[in-house]
Amino acid sequence: MSGVRVLVVDDQVMIRSGIRALLEAGDGVEVVGEAGDRRQAVATARALVPDVILMDLRMPVLDGVGAVVQLRADTTTAEIGILVLTTFDTDENVLAALQAGANGFLGKSADHEELMQAIGRVAAGGTSLSAVATDTVVAHLTSTARRYRTNETASSEELHRAASLTSREREVVMFVAQGLNNDAIAERLFISPLTVKTHVNRSMSKMHVRTRAQLVVAALGAGLLDD
């Protein structure tokens, strides 16, 4: 990884300083700015247009989910990679951030190698869900999405989108939800990584989402992963 420009967003100065120190201990990442709340995050992102934003979800008054929504709605910042940081004690916020357009998430307990790998994948246009997420994290998302469905049934439009997926596309989505990247999925299905990428892109188009993380959330919401 080389030359990845990162903006660190967290309401606690000590945590921002710790993340900065962790990132600057390695090669290929430059912390170009910091922000302590949603307003600062959006304004700084617009001014600097970093490659990746590390976004804390739990900020007072104006939280990280709201910041993700604003960033995705602004043409200047819409394409910036967003990696949300969480302790996983508020699963609903994690799910909401992914639905809003975050490219992935990472626990604040992650070590230097995990953090650098996640940033690299998001900077390259991928998502941390495809390679970094553990089975435990995926279980958290699955459990949360199912709890949502007990209170809010998937709409007929969402079900129609899910029904439009081919059997192969459903297979691929299942593996994406397990945290496998394109190469690993290709090995499982005995097809090329390029073919996997095509299936993923078509699935995202049919489900009306823009990231792999959102694809997982949409599939969970539509009941595709219940089995």
CA distances from 48 to 7, 30, 34, 143, 150 (A): 9, 12, 11, 37, 42
Q: Give the tokens for residue 149.
A: 């469905």
Q: Which residues pair with 70 in a beta bridge?
A: none
The architecture that CATH gives domain 139-221 is 3-Layer(aba) Sandwich (3.40)
Per-residue pLDDT band for 132 (boundaries 50, 70, 90) equals: very low
Per-residue pLDDT band for 29 (boundaries 50, 70, 90) equals: very high
What is the DSSP-derived secondary structure letter of residue 153? P
Region 127-150 average pLDDT: 53
Q: Is the pTM of this model over 0.85?
A: no
Residue 184: pLDDT over 60: yes
Lowest mean pLDDT among 22-31, 133-142, 193-202: 133-142
Out of 3.40.50.2300, 2.40.50.100, 1.10.150.120, 3.30.950.10, the CATH code matching 4-128 is 3.40.50.2300
Given a contact cutoff of 8 angstroms between Cβ atoms, the answer to whether 82 and 119 are in contact is: no
What is the DSSP-derived secondary structure letter of residue 129? G
Q: Give the tokens for residue 9.
A: 């967003």
Question: Vertex 7, ends 101 and 97: CA angle to 5°?
Answer: 20
Top pLDDT among 42 and 135 is at 42
Q: Which residues pair with 34 in a beta bridge?
A: 8
How far, in Å, CA of 127 to CA of 12, rounded? 25
Given a contact cutoff of 8 angstroms between Cβ atoms, the answer to whether 83 and 55 are in contact is: yes
CA distances from 143 to 65, 85, 91, 123, 217 (A): 20, 19, 9, 29, 11
Q: Give the tokens for residue 61.
A: 């008054």
Per-residue pLDDT band for 135 (boundaries 50, 70, 90) equals: very low
* 50-66: pLDDT as tens digits: 999 999 887 766 678 88
Residue 90: pLDDT over 90: no
Question: In this prediction, what percent of the chain has a pLDDT beyond 70?
Answer: 82
Residue-level pLDDT at 133: 45
Residue 154: pLDDT over 70: no
Per-residue pLDDT band for 43 (boundaries 50, 70, 90) equals: very high
- The position carrying tokens 């489900």 is 207
Q: Give the tokens for residue 89.
A: 């004690």
Helix axes 212-221, 91-100, angle to 10 degrees: 120
Which residues make up the CATH 3.40.50.2300 domain(s) of the chain?
4-128, 139-221
Q: What residue ranges in the chain does DSSP mark as E strands?
A: 4-9, 29-35, 52-56, 81-86, 104-107
CA–chain centroid gap for 222, Å, is 19
Residue 136: pLDDT over 50: no
Residue-level pLDDT at 140: 58
